[in-house]
């Protein structure tokens, strides 16, 4: 992975801008006029009760669902309705709320799949086995091994992903997402299913990824993780943006407290 911090540009730069986004599912407003922007290099926590619209927001940013209205800009360019593979190539990666690894493939192979948008050799390259293809494959394998080391998963590299404990699978999803060398990484409940020790390791990993200059959005129900690691927090409730601010500001926000107490 390359260090993407740009020391020549000290000004905070907007990496993601979401403007008046809306999405209906039947009669449910899953996104109701959502607007915010994210500065490059930060960790932005995205919190809110179940059904608030957090995953739907990720699904629209990553091209899985088309928004009904509004705009999304990534590094100043409109990306609404861009196909998923183009978004990945542009620098957006994500993990899923429910682990979506290729269970029968090894962890190393899963990471190599995540990397393929950054390699030139496709299907024909794999068949013809030209020397440059073999060189590229060797480099890709080395990068994948580096990513597994970076995420603390080296010992599992040659095990089928489906055999790993849930905690490791969640980390493996992050490894696979990092393989596409994202500028923006969206993490949907990475700590779900993790024990306290694994959650702490995850927090440490997110800090390391941040130090590489990757901007992150983090959906998280574990409040101490979300509050401890985020530079700013956006709170959604029933498809609406309830609050936005520093972790301290959000914690003291009355509407936020009510939404969480009202959860029952």
Ligand X SMILES: Nc1ncnc2c1ncn2[C@@H]1O[C@H](COP(=O)(O)OP(=O)(O)OP(=O)(O)O)[C@@H](O)[C@H]1O
CB of 198 to ligand X, least distance (A): 20
CB of 236 to ligand X, least distance (A): 6
Cβ proximity to ligand X: between 54 and 176 the closer is: 54
CB of 127 to ligand X, least distance (A): 38
Rg (alpha carbons) of the chain, rounded to whole number: 19
Kindly give the pairing relationship between strand 43-47 and strand 232-237.
parallel
Q: Which does 53 bind (CB under 5 to 8 A by kind): Mg ion, ligand X, none?
A: ligand X
Are 185 and 117 in contact by the 8 Å Cβ rule? The answer is no
Interacting residue ranges for Mg ion, rule: CB under 5 A: 54-55, 97
CB of 234 to Mg ion, least distance (A): 14
Cβ proximity to ligand X: between 28 and 126 the closer is: 28
For 71, the token pair is: 């705009």
Kindly give the pairing relationship between strand 92-94 and strand 69-74.
unpaired
Within 75-183, strands assigned E span: 77-78, 92-94
Cβ proximity to ligand X: between 40 and 80 the closer is: 80
Are 100 and 84 in contact by the 8 Å Cβ rule? The answer is no
* Whole-angstrom distance, CA of residue 79 vs CA of residue 101: 26
Interacting residue ranges for ligand X, rule: CB under 6 A: 25, 28, 30, 48, 50-56, 97
Q: Which does 213 bind (CB under 5 to 8 A by kind): Mg ion, ligand X, none?
A: none
CB of 76 to ligand X, least distance (A): 26
Q: Which does 215 bind (CB under 5 to 8 A by kind): ligand X, Mg ion, none?
A: none
Q: Determine which helix (DSSP H) or strand (DSSP E) holds 30, and give its type and residue range.
A: strand 28-39
Are 16 and 224 in contact by the 8 Å Cβ rule? The answer is no
Cβ proximity to ligand X: between 27 and 76 the closer is: 27
């Amino acid at each position: 992975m390359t260090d993407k911090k740009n020391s020549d540009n000290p000004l905070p730069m907007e990496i993601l801008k979401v403007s008046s986004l809306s999405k209906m599912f039947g009669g449910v407003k899953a996104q109701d006029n959502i607007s915010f922007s994210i500065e490059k290099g930060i960790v932005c926590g995205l919190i809110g009760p179940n059904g608030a619209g957090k995953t739907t927001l990720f699904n629209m940013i990553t091209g899985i669902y088309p928004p009904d209205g509004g705009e999304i800009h990534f590094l100043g360019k409109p990306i609404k309705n861009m196909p998923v593979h183009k978004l990945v190539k542009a620098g957006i990666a994500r993990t899923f709320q429910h682990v979506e690894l290729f269970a029968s493939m090894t962890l190393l192979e899963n990471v190599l799949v995540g990397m393929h948008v950054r390699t030139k050799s496709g299907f024909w390259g794999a068949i013809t086995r030209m020397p440059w293809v073999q060189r590229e494959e060797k480099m890709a394998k080395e990068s994948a091994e580096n990513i597994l080391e970076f995420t603390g998963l080296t010992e599992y590299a040659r095990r089928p992903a489906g055999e790993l404990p849930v905690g490791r699978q969640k980390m493996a999803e992050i490894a696979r997402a990092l393989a596409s060398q994202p500028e923006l990484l969206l993490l949907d409940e990475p700590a779900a299913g993790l024990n306290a020790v694994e959650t702490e390791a995850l927090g440490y990993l997110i800090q390391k990824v941040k130090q590489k200059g990757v901007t992150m959005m983090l959906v998280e129900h574990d409040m101490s993780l979300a509050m401890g690691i985020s530079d700013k927090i956006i709170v959604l409730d029933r498809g609406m943006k309830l609050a936005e601010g520093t972790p301290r500001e959000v914690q003291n926000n009355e509407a936020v407290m009510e939404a969480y107490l009202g959860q029952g």
